[in-house]
Structure 1
Amino acid sequence: MDSLISISSMARLHSLSRQTLIHYDHIDLFKPVEVDEKGYRYYSRAQIPFLRKIVFLKSLGLSLDSIKEVLLNTNPKKVLEFYSAYKTKVNQQIAELNDIREALNQQIAILNDAVDGYEMNLTEPFIKYYPLRKVIYQEFPENVTKEKLHLTLMNLWRQLEPLRIRPAAGFGTILTLETKECLGCESSDTACESDGRFKSGSCIFVPVNTENLDNLITIPAGEYICLYKFGMPYDISDAQYLLQWMNDNNYELTGNIIDVCLLDTTFYQQDRTEDFCLLQAPFKRK
């Protein structure tokens, strides 16, 4: 008995609890060499490498069943095959976690813009640089409402599912100015759109390496004149205000206006029943 190691000593040697070794005994993973008449478990020194290996394999994230499989297989080639297959699985998990981290970074960036916007004057445009971006796009139906807006977005969302793309980079509206007569227009609804002055639709931002989609639009990198707003994506009054401000300050619109939704209906508070958005207009100086 003097040459044996008690369960407490064996557990302490491997930074484990007694209950862990009792559990390993119950599932036939690591059994004591002797149990006395009082039920005390004892282990031999020759068992130390096996428990050390169990602790190591557990630290790799292997299940106890998988660890048992490794210990039962003494063929180095078979263990190599097991490790190689497990490494492939780990690489897949790392890729998935990297995707999740990127999705969180994108959501954090959107919320940072929202928090900054609450501290700014909503009527004062400002200039900000944006890198190249890509979106998928679907034009609004006639007489668009909030309900139709949601359906349009979900149509785009479903398009991303088979591509395993998380729509974490945000969504919004693309406004295309079709005639410059819209400058100074006093309409605050979708009238301009029906008059052929504005064309608009929902968009969802996608990774910049996305390709070969019929409704894919590239938003060029560059400086944009931006304006925070409370309103729905199909409400173009703020876009008209921004265009008028640009005209008054000798700026010319050079492409589509992007209306990025920062806080949607899930963030509505009692005093607000509209989205909090950021208009982004590409420009050149006249």
Structure 2
Amino acid sequence: MSKMLPLLCAGIACLSLTGCSLQEGNSEYPGEQCYLNKDNVTKFSCMGNDYTILEDTVSNNGLGAWVGYIRQLVAVDETGKVILQEDLKNGTLQTLAKISDLVDKAPGKSHVLPFVNVYAASDAGDYLIVDIDGEYHKAVIDEDVRDVDRVFDFKDMRQSTSCGFSVNPRDATQILCDGVVYQVTSDTVSDGELGSRIDLLARNVVFDAETKIPLSKEELREIDWYGETVGRHREQWMYKDVYEINRTEKTEAVAVRINDVFYVAKRQ
């Protein structure tokens, strides 16, 4: 029998200023505000220039000075046009709630992406770096885009799977894909063991620790006047994205990020 995931804290702890997309801090952001192109989410303007975001990414070590910010959570259609947009706040729980709400509002065939900070390159290269959902993508001035450059594929997160993953409405510790149940275990996956990203869940789930049943928004708002829930424990998991695990068939197990830790979810 699979081991159940132990109690996780509701908040997400940011370990470094430059390496965390959901940062706590002052309400004022350093650098200039940058703006997404609402007709094409692969483009943005910043410091008087228009940039194209590329598929090329860098590691944390490739980040230079923090020069600006976008801080927008957007839902885009299949053409890359922004159809819904929300400001991202500093507070982690506020951000998680906005992700969940925007996913609920967005039409079926849409992609939800958080665009956060903009950095210079650590090697003084002639490009910027944009934090998109924890990945650091290079961005070059429009006039400098070459034929060999690959433009950021915002749809890539859903291309590697034929099904859409979802949280089991009857057991919040399980995820579903085309009727197949994957049980989240306490086994963790390191970054080096991760394969391709399969899907984005973006679900903030509060559930009864005993029954594993998710609580509705109405239940969360109810006041327990008679103490009926005394002694009952609730857990809160923020499901983010689903990845393949290297050397493991995704039909057998996948890695799912919950509260910023990757756990193994095994097919039942």
TM over 0.5: no
- TM-score range (shorter-chain normalised) is under 0.3
TM-score (norm 2): 0.24
Larger Rg: 1
Higher normalized helix content (fraction of residues) = 1
TM-score (norm 1): 0.23
Higher normalized strand content (fraction of residues) = 2
